[in-house]
Amino acid sequence: MSRGDSLIISKSKIKPEYREVFLTVNHFHEEPNYWDLSSLTNWFDPSNPTNQIDETVLKFLDDEGYDYSKNQIEYWFQHMHPGRELAPHCDYNHKIREFNPDDGGEWIHQANKDEVMSPITIAIFLELTDLEGGEFAISRHTWFDEPRPLWLDDDTRARIHDAGKELYKPADDDVIYFEGSKYYHWIEPLTKGERKSMNVNFWPRDYFIINT
């Protein structure tokens, strides 16, 4: 599904008027708690947007020509400063974590992938100020190759490293599409400046039926 040899499937630009709406949000998270993802994500059904941010997400996706009609939409914002990074991970239906926070995720190998994976992840770079570091990084290693997909230990880190990575240095208004529910990805440490971005994923409407 990748374009050529790149793990960045597609690239685009966000319209300035949408970017300005997204920059009005007041919930950029300095230190997101990944053990309680419901505290930092926003979910809505595209048939029922409830605020201007939801509506702007839909306008953006319509412009992009992305068919979200069968999914719920999740989006969240990141605001990163020097010293911050984001560890390697794969995006998964966050309801998974709520079943058992200590779960290593061995059962995921038997899961219906459509229920636990987003078909695509969209990253939108809203505002980059004097940024050094903070590149988006994606590995060719997938979480379905991992014996304990929900657990990032030294062995997993080594396998991610050995698989090779692709680095993407973002620019303002950049939009990238990648398989965030398949390939490990992360944010390299920031050494200078600030980095505001948002991400969008798409989950099945019936996500509560996941059977662990």
| Interacting residues toward Fe ion by CB under 5 A | 91, 180
Residue 27's nearest CA partner among 41, 14, 17, 37 is 41
* Minimum distance of Fe ion from residue 77's CB (angstroms): 13
Q: Rounded distance, CA 67 to CA 208, Å?
A: 22
For Fe ion, the closer CB: 19 or 185: 185
Nearer to Fe ion, 2 or 59 (CB): 2
- C-beta of 15 vs 27, nearer to Fe ion: 27
Residues near 117 by Cβ (< 8 Å), separated by ≥ 6? 92, 93, 181, 182
- CB of residue 48 to Fe ion, shortest distance in Å: 25
In angstroms, what is the minimal distance from the CB of 122 to Fe ion? 11
DSSP letters for 25-86: -S--BSS--TT-GGGT-EEE-TTS--SHHHHHHHHHHHHHT---TTEEEEEEEEEE-TT--E
Provide the minimum distance between the beta carbon of 185 and Fe ion in the complex, in angstroms, as a whole number.
Answer: 6
- By Cβ distance, which residue is nearest to Fe ion? 91
Of 22 and 183, the one with the shorter C-beta distance to Fe ion is 183
Residue that is written with structure tokens 């965030």 in the block: 180
* Backbone phi and psi for residue 162, each to the nearest 5 degrees, phi listed first: -70, -25
Strands 86-89 and 71-80: unpaired
3-state DSSP helix/strand/coil % of the chain, to nearest 5: 25, 35, 40
Taking the complex as a whole, how short is the minimal distance between the CB of residue 183 and Fe ion, in angstroms?
10
Residue nearer to Fe ion on the CB measure, 33 or 51: 33
Smaller CB distance to Fe ion: residue 56 or 197? 197
For the CB of residue 180, give the shortest distance to Fe ion in the complex, in Å: 5
